[in-house]
Amino acid sequence: MGLSEFDLIDRYFSRSVVRKGCELGMGDDCAILSPEIGLQMAVTVDTLVEDVHFFAGVNPRSLGYKALAVSLSDLASMGAEPRYVTLALTIPDADECWLQGFSEGFFEIADQYNVGLIGGDTTRGPLSITIQAHGVIPEGQALLRSGAEVGDFIYVTGLIGNAGLALQSYLDDTKYCDHATLRRFNMPSPRVEAGMQLRNLASACIDISDGLLADLSHILKASEAGAVIELAQIPLSDSVRQFQLITGQPGFAVTAGDDYELCFTVPPGLVDEIERLCNTWSYSCACIGKIDSSKKLTILQDGQRIEITSNSYQHF
């Protein structure tokens, strides 16, 4: 006899949730949340489908970790503090080894960022994972895509293109990929603390899921602005730099997706404060350009204008 649906939920996902504002966690038809006065809820949902978002047969622990990481990255980009999460899991069968690994990875990052699993749904079908994450933000302090102003400086956290290089190495066995690079793809670290600290400092913010150029373009569109960025300023790992040189693709890193770093804009008067803040982070943070009124994204390579077409993945 395999596991029943309720045994499965009980064994792998049931945990008592003690998180501020959660009156009732999983076990009833709904969870009950009481948001505090003065806070707003940020809510995001994402679905990961096998063979679309991840390779069939991928390590279940890193899958559980990454599935939650990408949702926490959305909260980070708004400056929200993660609180609760729901998990709708569709699995082809109740494979206990897979469930053990998946739930371990999931709770590893849930504990790291202090998020509580407050409910979900479990169904049989082709493997797919839907996660809804809820965070809180002091009223009016959410970091929107639409706030960038002409003259603001553009920053990115961390190194760009590592996840893209890892993906490339899975696709065609390139040898430029080390363990740290693979980890950025399989178990990305959402920049949650950075996002929260950027409240009242950044004028606009987005997380890099589709590629830096594509995501920065979302800020530009929402803010009705343009920008100039300099490729030489984009922080790259040695592996990515080498890969770009050898393959002659200067635009590889800025068009590769899945980095889950933050791209944000800062008014000139707050640049000193931002630089001080960035120095306290354990990852890099670099100024890569400036917002202008052109309504276009101009890309410079050592001061010379170059064209790079962003081929970000679109489902339809």
Contact partner at residue 226 from Mg ion, ligand ADP, none, CB < 5 to 8 Å by partner kind: none
- Of 1, 16, 23, 28, the one binding ligand ADP by CB under 6 A: 28
Identity of the residue, 96 or 238, whose beta carbon is nearer to ligand ADP in the bound complex: 96
Q: What is the CA radius of gyration of the chain?
A: 20
21 binds ligand ADP (CB under 6 A): no
Identity of the residue, 78 or 87, whose beta carbon is nearer to Mg ion in the bound complex: 87
9 binds ligand ADP (CB under 6 A): yes
Return d(Cα 102, Cα 108) in angstroms, integer: 10
* Nearest distance from C-beta of residue 30 to ligand ADP, angstroms: 8
Q: 3-class DSSP state for residue 238?
A: helix
96 binds Mg ion (CB under 5 A): no
Q: 3-class DSSP state for residue 101?
A: helix
By Cβ distance, which residue is nearest to Mg ion? 121
238 binds Mg ion (CB under 5 A): no
312 binds ligand ADP (CB under 6 A): no
121 binds ligand ADP (CB under 6 A): yes
- Of 17, 26, 76, 148, the one binding ligand ADP by CB under 6 A: 26
Contact partner at residue 172 from Mg ion, ligand ADP, none, CB < 5 to 8 Å by partner kind: none
The burial class, CB within 10 Å (0-12 / 13-18 / 19+), for 112 is middle
Cα dist. 262→95, 120, 216 in Å? 36, 28, 10
- Of 16, 18, 29, 56, the one binding ligand ADP by CB under 6 A: 29
* Nearest distance from C-beta of residue 288 to ligand ADP, angstroms: 39
Return d(Cα 298, Cα 307) in angstroms, integer: 8
**Could you please report the per-residue DSSP string of 41-55?**
EEEEEEEEEBTTTB-
120 binds ligand ADP (CB under 6 A): yes
Provide the token pair at 311. Answer: 């081929």
List the helix and strand counts (H, then E) for the chain. 10, 13
Return d(Cα 82, Cα 94) in angstroms, integer: 29
Name residue 292's beta-bridge partners.
226
Q: Contact residues for Mg ion (CB under 5 A)?
A: 121
Q: Contact residues for ligand ADP (CB under 6 A)?
A: 9, 13, 26-29, 87, 89, 117, 119-122
